[in-house]
Structure formats: C-alpha cells, structure tokens
Chains A and B, each alone.
Chain A
C-alpha cells in the first residue's frame, strides 16, 4: 500500500470518527426527547489487500447508523399504555362520579356527642327528612313541625335531583372528552400514515433505516395506544410501513382500520372515529363511537368485539355506560349491585316516592281528610318533587279502624314514614349505591397505581436498552475525539513522509 492509499485510509478514519462524534452529538441533543432511542454507528473493518507478507487492512468505514430498539419492549409498552390509559381514565371518572354524589363523612357538622356523621349529600338530607317525620309523629299538630317535613322533603328532592344532575354533568364531560379523544386518534392515525409514507420513501431512496422517523412513528403509536387499544402489524406490501386497527376481541375480520400504509383517518378504506350522538340530559344518551370510511364499511356505532375496551376511550366508554349508565326511568325491579349508578338513583327515587306516598295515603290530614300524594307521583331522580304545599295536608294521623282519622294529635302514619329509614329500599339501597361507586373508584385507583408501576417498570427496561446516557455519550465522545486526533496525527505523519520523499527528489 502506498503513501497515497495511507492518506486515504487516514481520511476515511477521520470520517468514521467524525460520523461517530456526530451520532454522539445527535444522541446528546435528544437526551430529553420522548421515545428517542440511542443511536450507534456500526463501524466495520475495511477490505484487506493481500500482500506478500499477508493481508493488510485498509482501515474502517461506517456501515450504518443503528437505532438500539427492542421491538418486544416497544410492543409491551404499547400494550401497557393501553391499560394505563384505561385505568387512569376510569380512576379519574369514578372519582368525579363519586364527588358528584357529594357523600362525605365529617366531624365538623355534628355535635361531639353524635360523633362523625354524613356531612353532605343525599344521605344527610335523607336523615333529616326522616328526623322531621319522627319529630312530627311526637307532635303531629305542630305547624312548625309540619312545615319542617315539607322543607326537608323539598331539600331531599332537591339533593336527589342535584346529585343526579351532577352525575349527568360528569357524563356530559365524558362525551366531550370522548370527542377530543376520537379527534386525537384520527389526527395521530393521519400523522402515522404520513410518517409511513416518508419512512418508505427515505428507506427506498437511501437504502438505510430512517431511525429518527421510526422513533417518531413509535412515539405516535404509543400515544395512540394510550387512547385506544390497537393492533399494529407490518404493512403487507412494504414492511417499512405499519398498519393499525382497533383490537378485535374475537378476530372476526370486521376490522376498524385506522392506518393502512400511507392511508389513515378515513382515507381509502381506513376509518375515522367520532362520537355517534351528542349527549343530552333528557335522553341520558349512551356513549357510542362510530367509524366511518370514505370507501370501506362504516360502523355506526362500533359494537361487540370491535368496541374499544382499553385506552382512554375504553375507560370513557366504561365510565359512561357501565358506571353511570343511561337509565331515564324508574326500573321495575331493584338493580343489581353491578348495575349503573343512574339505575340505582332512579330506583331509589322511585322507591322513596312510592313508599312515602303509599303510607301517606293511609293517613289523615289536619282536616280529617284522607292523605294525598306527598311526593309528586311518577317522579324519577331527575324530577322528584314534593306535591304538598299546605302543611295541613300532611296526613300524619292514622286510621281509627272505621275509615276515619285517629285525630289531629295522632302521629301513627308520620311514625310509619319515619320508620322507612330502616327500609331496605330507601337508605340502605342508597348507601349500597354509594358504596358500589366507592368500590369502583377504589378499584380503579388501585388498578391505576398498579398499572403505573408496571408501565414504569416496562419503560425502565426499555430505557435500559434504548435510553440515552449522558455519561456514556461523554465517554464515547472522548473516545471518538481521541481516535479522530490519532487519525489526524496519522495523516500528519504520512504527510511528513510524503514531504520527505518529495524533498529527496529535489
């Protein structure tokens, strides 16, 4: 090998070290970039030339710049993101629903003798409502106590309506958030399709891996996975591209496709997501998601196995339809423990109305007339109200056995209504509903905390593979810098040798 070849080898060496330094600089620049994987130059020994003494190496060259990623860990992160999106959203929504119910225990509202008690919410109003009937039973002719019964009844009705209304406000918020989430899903799907296109073009043109664009695409896929559960596969015709569809629980083939190669968000057979119908309190609308496509099959709404079950959207669907529910009337039978909250609230309101009115109808008012409806008949949690406006119409007295009143000083019926406090379909039913929401919120919080830990551990594992370490990069930088200096020194030496050879000729 001649001096010129040596010079060229030195120059290539400088180039190799410079490229490696540049990659180090790139890594340092992206040390805080989300999802950026560390890159390394893949340096290979150059060809060897057979000489009489043996094979002589020709230095080194950069074969490629590699991104250190684990597709297994990437897939794990995507999966855990979906679960975290689900649990965090459910935790957040269940807490909001619980707050909307306004039930709390406190020491501040009560005397020291009574201790801790219900400080706010329906339970407190319910206690005061029954207390008022009990007081009336002891002094049935008292106008003050009769008015107190009406006031407490109105307060209870107002609190039931308010709690129901606040719960529906949470649901309205869920609809709004679902609208934002579907828009974000469409936007991400579109961006991923664009990146597919860009990655494919770059990789075909340069015959190298578009590491940064793949990092960016992976970041978007992971963002998408926190919003909804998805399946990601390599595109059938170009494996530089990926396809994405909503996870189909039973793989029926009726897929909701979000990205298909260079198409996404509704274009050419892919689907764009949206909330099927706007929320109204009167209809207590069911939250459904529709998938529409320019050329493919529409799903309006997405149902069954294709319906999102994880991610933020899955959490919103669960909170809106399973936790809150869409009941607008009083159910005919007692809802199960797992029934949605609105079923329980309507049933509770219906029972309060029916049980109170039934007893009230057996009583007699101050004028000796048979009792009418205390609460307006046929009401629900949305519109329960007190029918009586004149306190003399409260039928506190019982029947004398001959179809007449036991008298204005009799409080038998008032006491019977006060005894509804212990009825399984009034206070107990309501307390169970509050406990059920508490259990959902508690479980959601635990799941979210556990999932956060799992996701963090998976992220840590991925970080261990792909993450950028400043210390490592600084060490590499020194190594490449020294190698660069050494190569420069090598060129200087060859140059001096060439000068010596040239000066010999002078």
Chain B
C-alpha cells in the first residue's frame, strides 16, 4: 500500500485519540467505582441495577418499619407480661378467698382485687406515641373508665390501632393486638375477650363478690383460670412475633448486603483490573507517542542539503 504524507498523521491522530479515550474510561471507573454509570454503558446491567436499587430502597424502608413495629411489639409484650402478672395475682387471691375466710378478710381481698382490676384496665388503655395501643379511637380508650369502679368496653374498638405493617416483600403482617369488646360473637377477639371468655366481666365479678364479703364460687375460679389461659396465649403471641421481627430484621440486613453485592457485581469496578488496564493503556500510549514522533519527524528533507 502506498503510504502518503497525510496517511501517517491521520492514522496516528485516530490511534492516539482511541488510547486517550481508553485512559479516560479507566480513570472514570477508578474515580467513581462504577463501570456502568450511564444506561448506554451497558443497558441491561444498568436496568437490572436500577431495579435492584429500587428493591434495595424498599428493603431499607422495610428495615425502618421493622424497627418501629419491633418497638411497638416490645411495648405489647411488656403489657402482656404485666397483664399476666396481674391476672396471676388475681388468681392467687381468688383461690385464697374461699369459704375459710371471714367476710372482713374477703373484703380486704376485694380491695386488693379492685386495685388489680384498675391495673388491668390501665394496661388495656396503655398508650404508645400518644395512641392507644390496644383498640379504642384517637380520643377514646378501649375501656371506658368513667363509670369506675364499673368498667365497660368502649364501642368502636376496631377503628384505632395500627394492626398491620409491611416489613418485607411478603404480605403485611399483623403487628397490633387489641383488648377486645363486649360483643363476644363479632370475631373481634383480644387479650381480654374471646369467644368464650370475657376477662373484664370475670375480674369485676370476682372483685364485686369479694367486696360484698362473699367467697368466690368454683365457676368463678374456673372463669379466672380461663382468663389466664387467654392472657398466656397473648404473651406467647407477642413473644413469638418479637422473635419473628428480629429474624426478619436480620434477613433484611442480609438481603441488603447481598443486593449491594449483586449491584456491585453488575456495575462495580474491579480496581485491580481497572488499574492494570490503565497501566497497559498508558504504556501503549507512550509507545504510540514515541514511535509516532519518530516517524513524523523523519522525511527525505532531512537528508537533502
């Protein structure tokens, strides 16, 4: 092929430009830490990374929500433990308050029982961040205390608490528990009411019996036992949920780490490769400049005098 005076410079310029482009590419990769920063760098990897990053954003949100519901569930668990403690004491008093005691002693037990009833009502009306934890509405607790010492469930119990939260990619989980309501057949069960047990009625009935100086009947004792069974069930539920939330958090953290690694695999830079390639390209660049300069500098003119 005939090589003319302008062929060298044109080819040389093109080759040098290519090597400069490569250096710019590796320099960008080393500086930013990503090999795919724009869609055109690798459209498929970019799209996948954006999808993983969007999912990652959701997971970080789930993690935050999970932290909040765990805090809520800790409050619930504490409340159920307190309830269990109160009902256990009530059960002790119920068994203690038999016919062997005189009326005065029974009334004394009734005083303590009343105190425990108030304590249980307070537990049911507990608040978290200014909201009733176990039912009621914004301005109305689950149990109406206005008729004290006679307590009753407020109506509209179903309308207040956050009962579900989404803490992972799956369906929302139930995070709240409720005290319950008077209607034992509506399915709105709680830690004070289910289809067969109404703790609020049972403990008030026992209190009133004691305050009247009477001993409790075997039916009342059985009812008391049933309330403990119901409360135990909720202690178990809240405890199990706490464990489940803790596990969920750990899984989310692992998923976040794993997704970060997947994105890095798609778009991240292998620094060793990038630096090696930059060195290699720079060597080519230096060689190209040296050889180009030598060729361009020599013509027949140098030898004609």
List chain A positions with a Cβ less than 8 A from chain B.
31-32, 94-95, 98-99, 101, 103-108, 113-118, 123, 126-128, 130-131, 134-135, 137-141, 400, 404-412, 415, 418-419, 421, 427-428, 431-432, 434-439, 441-442, 445, 452, 456, 459-460, 463-465, 467-472, 474-475, 478
Q: How close is B265's CB to chain A, nearest CB, in angstroms?
A: 10
Contacts of B58 in A (CB 8 A): 130-131, 134, 418, 421
Q: 1/0 per residue B1-32: CB within 8 Å of A?
A: 11111110011001000000000000000001
Contacts of A411 in B (CB 8 A): 162, 165
Q: How close is B298's CB to chain A, nearest CB, in angstroms?
A: 9
* Complex Cα spacing A464 to B7, Å: 8
Interface size on B, residues (CB 8 A): 67
Contacts of A456 in B (CB 8 A): 10-11, 14
Q: Are A435 and B56 in contact (CB under 8 A)?
A: no
B96 at interface by CB-CB < 8 Å: no
Contacts of B264 in A (CB 8 A): 115-116
B36 at interface by CB-CB < 8 Å: yes
Residue of B2, B49, B261 with highest tally of chain A CB at under 10 A: B2
Contacts of A116 in B (CB 8 A): 33-34, 49, 53, 260, 263-264, 267-268
Contacts of A107 in B (CB 8 A): 32-34
Q: State the 6 A-B residue pairs at the shortest beta-carbon distance, nearest first.
A: A438-B39, A115-B260, A467-B4, A441-B40, A438-B43, A435-B47
Residue of B6, B60, B259 with highest tally of chain A CB at under 10 A: B6
Contacts of B161 in A (CB 8 A): 407, 409
Contacts of A94 in B (CB 8 A): 40
Contacts of A31 in B (CB 8 A): 5-6
Contacts of B42 in A (CB 8 A): 438, 442
* Complex Cα spacing A465 to B6, Å: 12
Knowing A115-B260, A116-B34 touch, does A105 contact B40 (C-beta < 8 A)?
Answer: no
* Complex Cα spacing A467 to B65, Å: 73
Contacts of A115 in B (CB 8 A): 56, 259-261, 263-264
A95, A135, A467: the one contacting B6 at CB < 8 Å is A467
B90 at interface by CB-CB < 8 Å: no
Sampled A-B contacts (17; CB under 8 Å): A31-B6, A104-B38, A105-B53, A106-B34, A106-B37, A117-B56, A134-B58, A134-B62, A134-B166, A137-B65, A138-B69, A407-B159, A409-B138, A415-B166, A442-B39, A442-B42, A470-B300
Contacts of B61 in A (CB 8 A): 130-131, 134-135, 418
* Complex Cα spacing A134 to B100, Å: 60
B257 at interface by CB-CB < 8 Å: yes
Q: Are B256 and A114 in contact (CB under 8 A)?
A: yes
Q: 1/0 per residue B56-79: CB within 8 Å of A?
A: 111011101100110000000000
Q: How close is A69's CB to chain B, nearest CB, in angstroms?
A: 14
Contacts of B162 in A (CB 8 A): 138-140, 409-411
- Give B66's nearest chain A residue, CB to CB: A138
Q: Are B50 and A431 in contact (CB under 8 A)?
A: yes
Q: Interface of chain B, helix or strand or loop or mixed?
A: helix
Contacts of A471 in B (CB 8 A): 5, 299-300
Knowing A405-B159, A467-B4, A470-B5 touch, does A434 contact B47 (C-beta < 8 A)?
Answer: yes
Q: How close is B195's CB to chain A, nearest CB, in angstroms?
A: 21
Contacts of B3 in A (CB 8 A): 464, 469
Knowing A115-B259, A421-B58 touch, does A463 contact B65 (C-beta < 8 A)?
Answer: no
- Give B58's nearest chain A residue, CB to CB: A421
Q: Are A407 and B160 in contact (CB under 8 A)?
A: yes
* Complex Cα spacing A140 to B261, Å: 33
Q: How close is B247's CB to chain A, nearest CB, in angstroms?
A: 19
A131, A405, A442, A463: the one contacting B60 at CB < 8 Å is A131
* Complex Cα spacing A405 to B138, Å: 13
* Complex Cα spacing A452 to B301, Å: 32
- Give B61's nearest chain A residue, CB to CB: A134
Q: Are A439 and B43 in contact (CB under 8 A)?
A: yes
B138, B165, B299: the one contacting A474 at CB < 8 Å is B299
A134, A410, A412, A478: the one contacting B65 at CB < 8 Å is A134
B158 at interface by CB-CB < 8 Å: yes
A99, A118, A436: the one contacting B53 at CB < 8 Å is A118
B54 at interface by CB-CB < 8 Å: yes
Knowing A95-B40, A115-B56, A415-B172 touch, does A470 contact B301 (C-beta < 8 A)?
Answer: yes
Q: Are A105 and B46 in contact (CB under 8 A)?
A: yes
Q: Are A104 and B51 in contact (CB under 8 A)?
A: no
* Complex Cα spacing A117 to B137, Å: 41
* Complex Cα spacing A106 to B49, Å: 11
**Extra A-B contacts (6), CB below 8 Å, given A130-B54, A442-B43, A471-B299:** A98-B38, A101-B39, A114-B256, A137-B166, A427-B51, A442-B40
B44 at interface by CB-CB < 8 Å: yes
* Complex Cα spacing A110 to B37, Å: 14
A105, A113, A117: the one contacting B36 at CB < 8 Å is A105
Contacts of B7 in A (CB 8 A): 460, 463-464, 467
Residue of A138, A404, A436 with highest tally of chain B CB at under 10 A: A138
- Give B165's nearest chain A residue, CB to CB: A138
- Give B159's nearest chain A residue, CB to CB: A407
B98 at interface by CB-CB < 8 Å: no
Knowing A117-B56, A474-B304 touch, does A141 contact B131 (C-beta < 8 A)?
Answer: yes
- Give B51's nearest chain A residue, CB to CB: A431
Residue of B36, B162, B165 with highest tally of chain A CB at under 10 A: B162
* Complex Cα spacing A415 to B14, Å: 56
* Complex Cα spacing A261 to B166, Å: 77
Knowing A134-B58, A411-B162, A434-B50 touch, does A441 contact B39 (C-beta < 8 A)?
Answer: yes
B164 at interface by CB-CB < 8 Å: yes
Residue of A117, A471, A472 with highest tally of chain B CB at under 10 A: A117
* Complex Cα spacing A471 to B7, Å: 13
Q: How close is B34's CB to chain A, nearest CB, in angstroms?
A: 6
Q: How close is A324's CB to chain B, nearest CB, in angstroms?
A: 15
B6, B263, B267: the one contacting A463 at CB < 8 Å is B6
* Complex Cα spacing A108 to B2, Å: 53
Residue of B33, B61, B164, B261 with highest tally of chain A CB at under 10 A: B61
Knowing A428-B51, A456-B14 touch, does A106 contact B32 (C-beta < 8 A)?
Answer: yes
Contacts of A439 in B (CB 8 A): 39-40, 43
Contacts of A400 in B (CB 8 A): 158-159
* Complex Cα spacing A426 to B57, Å: 15
Contacts of B41 in A (CB 8 A): 438, 442
Q: Are B53 and A127 in contact (CB under 8 A)?
A: yes
Residue of B43, B46, B54, B163 with highest tally of chain A CB at under 10 A: B54
Contacts of B32 in A (CB 8 A): 106-108
* Complex Cα spacing A34 to B53, Å: 51
Q: How close is B120's CB to chain A, nearest CB, in angstroms?
A: 23
Knowing A103-B38, A116-B49, A116-B260 touch, does A127 contact B65 (C-beta < 8 A)?
Answer: no
* Complex Cα spacing A130 to B58, Å: 8
Q: Are A138 and B64 in contact (CB under 8 A)?
A: yes
* Complex Cα spacing A123 to B44, Å: 16
* Complex Cα spacing A131 to B164, Å: 17
Q: Are A431 and B47 in contact (CB under 8 A)?
A: yes
Q: How close is B59's CB to chain A, nearest CB, in angstroms?
A: 9
* Complex Cα spacing A43 to B20, Å: 48
Q: How close is A143's CB to chain B, nearest CB, in angstroms?
A: 12
